[in-house]
């Protein structure tokens, strides 16, 4: 079976540009260029139909977060899409992709305060403007993380020695209210990167005496109450299928109750008619 090989790279002697080469027999194509004095830093996200570059760059003392995507079936690159721009270094950034939608969680340092900002962009649409949601503000924010876990999008961040978080069950349209998920006390929590299915991902871990604990899924599997679309929702990650079963049972129970009410009304009517006779 013939396979195609794609390469993305920047050279040590040419750190202002990113090059792309598909297969082995084509010439290099410059896909991104910056007038900066530092190396370009980028990460790769792999979606169903796209390969996306998340590019961090500095131009004219402005810090930019840029998205550039490669559409596999058309073999074409999109134009640069600026996700965020600021004149201060980012506190932290995190991103993931679901159903060809790239989700960004950005910790910024603006006007003497720090903020957690959520943005997304649909690669299937020619979007230039993205809605910006300020999720949280505090001067002691130190890191952030956005992940998808069992069909739920989680936004997480660390501030004042606490792990905060909120979640979206509709992939970014609405988020629950921020809550404290874990008080860190003396725990040494780090955000680490790893490779899964050739894609870079991130997770929070605790490290104590050379023992590493992947605690996050256990924390997020607890039940949280949130406000989404002005409706109170109770959602448990481990019991998604059970919730559907419970909903069906509730519907059956309502039908039984309604049927019993109908029978009682008929019986009361017969008794009433009997008294008239």
| Domain extents in the chain | 6-238, 239-277
Number of H helices, E strands in the chain: 2, 21
Give the distance between the most distant pair of CA atoms in the chain. Answer: 105
In the prediction, which pLDDT does 39 show? Answer: 56
Beta partners for 134? 117
Give CA separation, 147 vs 98, 151, 155, 216, 217, in Å. Answer: 10, 10, 7, 11, 11
In the prediction, which pLDDT does 45 show? Answer: 81
In the prediction, which pLDDT does 84 show? Answer: 93
Cα gap 145→202, rounded to integer Å: 7
DSSP 8-class letter at 26? S
In the prediction, which pLDDT does 238 show? Answer: 44
Cα gap 57→36, rounded to integer Å: 7
Per-residue burial over 203-232, b if 16 or more Cβ lie within 10 Å, else e, is bbebeeeeeeeebbeeebeeebebebeeee
Mean of pLDDT over the chain:
74
- Which residues of the chain, if any, have pLDDT below 50? 1-5, 7-9, 11-13, 24-25, 223-243, 245-246, 277
Spell out the long-range contacts of 20-27 with Cβ–Cβ below 8 A and sequence spacing 24 or more. Answer: 20/70, 20/77, 22/75
In the prediction, which pLDDT does 2 show? Answer: 39
Is 181 within 8 Å of 158 (Cβ atoms)? no
The label of the residue with tokens 């039908």 reads 255
Q: Is the pTM of this model over 0.85?
A: no
Give CA separation, 162 vs 142, 157, 184, 185, in Å. Answer: 10, 8, 5, 8
In the prediction, which pLDDT does 175 show? Answer: 93
Question: What dotted CATH number matches 6-238?
Answer: 2.115.10
DSSP 8-class letter at 130? -
Could you give the residue ranges of the DSSP H alpha helices within the chain? Answer: 216-220, 240-276
């Amino acid at each position: 079976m013939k396979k195609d090989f794609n390469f993305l790279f920047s050279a040590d002697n040419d750190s202002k540009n990113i090059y792309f080469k598909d297969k082995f027999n084509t010439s290099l194509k410059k896909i991104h260029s910056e007038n900066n004095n530092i190396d370009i830093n980028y990460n790769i996200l792999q979606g169903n139909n796209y390969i996306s570059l998340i590019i961090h760059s500095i131009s004219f003392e402005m810090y930019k977060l840029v998205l550039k995507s490669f559409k596999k079936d058309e073999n074409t690159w999109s134009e640069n899409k600026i996700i965020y721009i600021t004149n201060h270094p980012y506190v932290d950034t995190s991103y993931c992709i679901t159903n060809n939608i790239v989700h960004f969680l950005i910790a910024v340092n603006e006007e003497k305060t720090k903020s957690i900002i959520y943005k997304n962009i649909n690669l299937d649409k020619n979007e230039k403007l993205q809605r910006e949601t300020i999720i949280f503000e505090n001067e002691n924010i130190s890191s952030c993380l956005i992940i998808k876990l069992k069909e739920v999008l989680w936004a997480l961040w660390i501030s004042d020695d606490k792990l905060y978080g909120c979640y979206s069950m509709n992939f970014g349209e609405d988020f629950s209210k921020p809550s404290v998920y874990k008080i860190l006390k003396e725990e040494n929590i780090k955000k680490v990167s790893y490779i899964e299915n050739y894609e870079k991902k991130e997770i929070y871990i605790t490290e104590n005496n050379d023992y590493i604990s992947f605690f996050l899924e256990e924390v997020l599997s607890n039940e949280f109450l949130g406000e989404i679309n002005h409706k109170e929702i109770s959602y448990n990650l481990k019991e998604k299928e059970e919730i559907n079963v419970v909903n069906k049972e509730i519907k059956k129970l309502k039908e039984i109750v309604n049927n019993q009410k109908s029978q009682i009304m008929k019986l009361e009517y017969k008794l009433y008619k009997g008294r008239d006779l």
